Amino acid sequence: MLKKLRYIDYWVLIPYLILCVFGIIMVYSASADYYIIANGKSAFSFLMRQIAYVLMGVLITFITFQLRLEVFRGKRFIKYFTAVMFLAYFYLMFFGRNTNGATGWIFIGPISIQPSEVLKLFFILYLSNILTKHRDRLEIDNDIMSFYRSPIVMVFIFVILTYLQHDLGGSAINSAIALVIFFAAGVDYRKGIGIIFAGIATGVFFLMAVASRININTSNYMLQRIVGFAHPFELAKGAGNQLVNSYYALGNGGIFGVGLGNSIQKKGYLPEANTDFIMSVVAEELGLITVILIIGLLSLIIFRAIILGIRANSMYQTMICYGIATYFTVQTFFNVGGVIGMLPITGVTFPFISYGGSSMVVLTVCIGLLLNISATQEREIKLRK
């Protein structure tokens, strides 16, 4: 099995490892002052947890890399994965604990699991598998609804359930993943473009209409996010607090930053400094240059995923690669968009940099899948020579 390591894809592996190491450093820096002030706790425990998450992630990456891709397509695997997702959301509906305005976490002792994060991986594997099976039938009969009814219903149910947990970011990212995989499966591109533009237009219109009519003193959690995005400085002591302090961090950091560990906003001013707004701390301490380098490293993985998808001989591999590329891209866009005030704050973390276990596990499985697909392709090329 270790012979497979000779085909390791360093265009994926090296950026992933660099991002993880940088994430450990920034989680400690971002939480060092915030957690002492807010909770009277040392940030050392968060540093050790993040190190544990990264090490666990590396192990998961290695295991996923070594497994045969057919394992993820097995009927039993897909069936159990589907059942686990339904059970997780059923638990959230009736027993979910409210945390920061959302009920999206399952707590098992000291461990917290976020099903909407796992759903991203489920959509990638489930849709890639079932749509590959329907591919031949689609070439004969282009009646989309007749073949795609069950996966569309499945996606719709889980997206709605995610939205009901007040997880707007999770529902949007999962929708984007599903949409791209449907297009990769052979949906007429003209219909796809129409759907995308119709969706964007509807979303923008809805956001503008809602933002203009919401009472800025609303107590609704999701509406507060929109109001805080539309009127941050008017609500600087309330719903706009995160965005305003993020602006201060970005302005203070400038191009080169104020130095590692020297952030002012992380000292109790910027909530969720080590998770949702860790890029604000990065920008303040290490400047715009470092932010660009981080996004560049993540872009290397995304572009590599797209290249692997293009050159794949298997539709299944293509859809997995495109699904992962979409996941990484949209998640980064939502996080950075919230930090700079381009989008409403959705509670989305930055891949590999933000503190957290659920996100790290799912991201590392995706890295393992990319490495697995790359090695499979390289081995097939070598055998043909």
Q: Going residue by residue through the chain, which has 385 residues, state the pLDDT in tens, using 9 for 90 and above.
A: 567 888 899 999 999 999 999 999 999 888 876 555 555 566 778 888 899 999 999 999 999 999 999 999 888 999 999 999 999 999 888 877 766 656 777 877 777 788 889 999 999 999 999 888 776 565 555 555 566 778 888 888 998 888 888 777 888 889 889 888 888 776 554 555 555 555 555 555 555 555 555 555 555 555 566 666 655 656 656 666 677 788 888 888 889 889 888 888 887 777 777 888 889 899 999 999 999 999 999 999 999 999 998 888 888 999 999 999 999 998 998 899 888 877 777 778 899 999 888 889 999 999 999 999 999 998 888 777 6
Q: Is residue 6 part of a domain?
A: no
Q: How many domains does the chain have?
A: 1
Cβ 188 vs Cβ 138: under 8 Å = no
| 3-class DSSP assignment, residue 107 | strand
Q: Is residue 44 part of a domain?
A: yes
Cβ 195 vs Cβ 141: under 8 Å = no
Q: Is residue 121 part of a domain?
A: yes
**What whole-number distance in Å separates Cα of residue 44 and Cα of residue 195?**
48
Helices (H), the chain: 10-39, 44-66, 75-95, 115-140, 144-164, 168-184, 189-213, 221-230, 241-253, 278-311, 315-339, 358-384
- CA within 13 Å, CB half, 222: 12
> Smallest Cα–Cα separation from 304: which of 313, 294, 296?
296
Supply the range of the domain harboring residue 158. 18-384
> Would you state the structure tokens that stand for residue 344, as one six-digit string?
């409403």
pTM (global) more than 0.75: yes
Q: Is residue 5 part of a domain?
A: no
